[in-house]
Chain A
Amino acid sequence: MGIFAKDKPESAAPDAARSDSDTAFFGAKLSIMGKVTGSGNLIVMGKLEGEVDLAGELVVAAPAVLNGEIRAVTLAVSGTVTGTKSAGEKTHLEKSAVVSGLMNAPRLSVVDGATFNGEIEMKKPANGIVPPKRSDKK
């Protein structure tokens, strides 16, 4: 069920959320302001402003717009993300990704065409979770 385990199309299929009850799904016409936490996976296609702290996979699928502080085990982006991002294992930016701010991930893959403005740190975490480093860079 790993998002990274299979070659997914650029836009994550929202229907995946239906078959996996641990995967939360926020559709394109949904806006969330606040904090999202938990141990499951999350696919976001709408707007999210605030904080995401997930012990699972976070998929930011176009046309999603995220602004805030993000922590997850793996992060896959084909939408727009601004702010501080920490992935314990891996971050993947698709062609349509527009990302800015600080990114912290021990493994990083970027598809040709992705936009990234910011700072990258590639630290190997001791416990699997990269400690967040707050940054005001936007």
Chain B
Amino acid sequence: MAKEASSGTTSLVSRPVVVEGEISGEENLHVDGRVKGVIRLSGDLFVGTSGVVEAEIDARSIVIQGAVTGKVLARRQLEVQPSGRFNGEATAASYEIRQGAVFEGISRMLGSKSQAEKPAAPAEPEMKK
């Protein structure tokens, strides 16, 4: 299920596993468990439906099916899928927020000159479950 990116290996934080601290590296990461702390990846981050991430995140593309809270930088794209919940401050080159997703917080466009803060409009007030 993990998105295999061109950069190679995808590491996995499985459902029964909790990581507290800093995760960094030149890989993709799939989170089905819990991560609290900092995530810095040259690859992509995929948060599965059971994944819960409370972290400062720097990754290439970020796909959220579970729950993410924190300050997030997606150098390429931030995608919140219908089951996904994001709460925090996001900066991304592009956004894809599907119907049913929850996006609460601030969004900024990477590379835009003004980088004007704008409150992100929640796609739907309630979650589709």
Roughly how many angstroms separate A13 CA and B2 CA in the complex, as a whole number? 17
Q: How many residues of A contact B (CB 8 A)?
A: 28
Point out the residue from A31, A33, A40 that lies within 8 Å of B17, measured CB to CB: A40
B interface, CB within 8 angstroms of A: 2, 8-27, 29, 32-33, 37
Question: In the complex, are the beta carbons of B24 and A31 less than 8 A apart?
Answer: yes
Within 8 A of B (CB), among A84-117: none
The answer to the question of A29 belonging to the interface, with a C-beta cut-off of 8 Å to chain B, is: yes
Question: In the complex, are the beta carbons of A38 and B16 less than 8 A apart?
Answer: yes
Question: In the complex, are the beta carbons of B27 and A30 less than 8 A apart?
Answer: yes
Q: A10-25, CB under 8 A of B: which get 1 and which 0? A: 0000100110011111
The answer to the question of A27 belonging to the interface, with a C-beta cut-off of 8 Å to chain B, is: yes
Point out the residue from B2, B15, B21, B25 that lies within 8 Å of A22, measured CB to CB: B15
Question: In the complex, are the beta carbons of A38 and B9 less than 8 A apart?
Answer: no
